[in-house]
Amino acid sequence: MSQNAAFDPSIPVLTEVVSEPVIPPAPAAAPPEPPEPLAQQLERRASERWTGEEWSVLERRVTERVLQQLQGRVDFVLEQRVRDAMADAMQRTLETFTADLREGLHEALGEIVSKAVSQEIEYLRTQ
């Protein structure tokens, strides 16, 4: 290809580097301290201003609230543990009862058969 005759050297082209003006950095300011969390603010104010009676009231309220929340959980866990313990106890009792019943029936059937055989032999002797 031939070079374009209408090329004007005063017009910059894309391959030329354009320098940007240098902006001096702003002086480093100390970072602002993060605000104190609300919980810490409340705790600090309470410890500075509250009386012993107000602390007692807060303690009683928190205790009551925690006990109310735990009561439902405790009831559920207690009920579940009682059910599990009862199921285990009933299972063991049923196994023991079944074994005892089987042994008793075995003995009773043995006695009945022995008595029936003895009676039959006695009957056959008398004939």
pLDDT tens digits, 2-60: 555 566 777 766 566 556 666 777 666 666 667 778 888 888 887 888 888 888 898 99
Residue 91: pLDDT band by 50, 70, 90 thresholds?
Answer: very high
Distance in angstroms (rounded) separating the CA atoms of residues 92 and 82? 15
The per-residue pLDDT for 20 is: 64
Domain residue spans of the chain: 45-126
Element (H, E) at 41: helix 38-49
Backbone angles phi, psi at 116, to 5 degrees: -65, -40
Backbone angles phi, psi at 96, to 5 degrees: -65, -45
Distance in angstroms (rounded) separating the CA atoms of residues 102 and 96? 10
